[in-house]
Amino acid sequence: MAVSGDHLPTSAIRLLGELADSVLVVSPVRDTAGRLSDFSIAHVSDGYIDPGGRAAADIAGRTLLQAYPDCAGGNGLFARAARVLADGAPQFAPGPVGSLTGGADHAGIADLRAARYDGQVVFTWRGRGSDDGRLAEALDHVRTRVALAAARDLLAHSEQRAAEEHELALRLQRAIMPTDVHLVETAGVDIAVRCRPAMTGSLVAGDWYDALQLPDGELLFVVGDIAGHGIEAVTGMVASRNALRGLAATGADPHELLTRLNYAACLFTEGLTGTVICGRYNPRSRMLRWARAGHLPPVLVRGDVAEVQPMPEGMLLGMELDAEYEQVMLQLRTGDTLLLYTDGLIERRSASISDALAEFAAAAVPAGPDVDSHVTRILANAASDTGDDACLLAVRIR
């Protein structure tokens, strides 16, 4: 049973469902004098775990005080929602949440979080013992939930379990982010991408890319790098990639997309941080709007010149809830090639980042006869020596 909220985007609802076992979204109800009198329940997640043991269908469509008559006092759900709505400060209540509804503590439910989003209050909590719930839900995107559960049942020793999970993460990463891809040309551009692992058998990292046509005809270009290695990095990458896709379908500009993605990373994940660069390209005007969250800027190859683009303001994801992201416009022309990449492609221990960027730009010319051969040559000549994974997305304007 799911009831959509009036304000919270569907894509955000889906992301929340990946990161918590239960999601409850409420909207304020005010009397004729404008005073807060109740909260209507706008969304109840599938698989909702209720402190009173009721089904989601028994909660949806009611108000907070109707569903939980004793939640108005003390630190109950109503009181917490009112505080969050008033000052916007998120709250976290570790431990059983039954007392927050005015009922007895329910041993199977813990860790309530509350946050304001566009005039609504979002509650999330989880079932105790479900520390890997976010992992299982994220992996479900690529139909591996059953395989992971079976693997865990068979693992008898921690070393074997670590090895199996690493192999699973590696398979997931390869399935979602193939290392050698030539994307189908679309909307007046040619697109090619390369993802290079640091070395065979190395820890799986969170480098990712995306390139797709949106419902309004614009193209979305993304390259990101989730911090860490292994299962956590891969599942963080899957969640971020899918969330950004859903948010982009709303028509939001790149700086707005990063603001919302950062909001989710700060409030609804544990320790997820990373960098990302995001652009929307209009094929009719050939205008690119882009923004970055702690990521290196793109390189534009035009004729025999490769130029590192300006670096607008934008903090990396998951660090500061109120982070703001600056947006930049770039007019592209026929024959231009835009390069988006992760730092594993260019960083060297003996060089500053500015020197590494300059060397990368110099190595990106000449552009070559086609975009596929261009990215192949760039990757083959990459001078990085940090042992990190690398991803390169190239877009050539026809």
* Nearest Cα to Cα of residue 176 among 391, 374, 397: 391
- The HSE-up count of residue 103 (CA atoms within 13 Å, CB side) is 17
Q: What is the pLDDT confidence band of residue 163, given thresholds at 50, 70 and 90?
A: low
Element (H, E) at 340: strand 337-341
**Confidence class for position 185, pLDDT limits 50, 70, 90:** low
Decide if 86 is inside a domain: yes
What does the mean pLDDT of the chain come to? Answer: 78
CATH of the domain at 336: 3.60.40.10
H-helix or E-strand spanning residue 157:
none
Residue 368 pLDDT > 50: yes
- Measured CA to CA, the distance from residue 19 to residue 29 in angstroms comes to 28
- Claim to verify: residue 358 and residue 262 sit in the same structural domain: yes
**Which pLDDT tens digit goes with each residue over 19-43?**
567 888 899 999 888 899 999 998 8
Coil, strand, or helix at residue 344? helix
Least confident of 120-129, 233-242, 298-307: 120-129
CB 333 within 8 A of CB 288: no
Q: Does residue 282 sit in the same domain as residue 371?
A: yes
How long, in residues, is the chain?
398
pTM of the model: 0.57
Total number of domains in the chain: 3
Residues 380 and 273 in one domain: yes
- Token pair 């431990």 is found at 95
Q: Are residues 95 and 230 in the same domain?
A: no
Is residue 188 domain-shared with residue 102, that is, in the same domain? no
Which range of residues forms the domain containing residue 109? 10-127
Q: What is the pLDDT of residue 348?
A: 80
Rounded Cα distance, 218 and 226, in Å: 25
Mind spelling out the 3-state secondary structure of 209-273? EEEEECCCCCEEEEEEEEEEEHHHHHHHHHHHHHHHHHHHCCCCCHHHHHHHHHHHHHHCCCCCC
Q: How many CB atoms lie within 10 A of CB 158?
A: 8
Task: Tell me the pLDDT tens digit for each residue of 232-255.
Answer: 777 777 788 888 988 999 999 999
CA angle (313, 314, 318) in 5-degree steps = 160
Same domain, 68 and 137: no
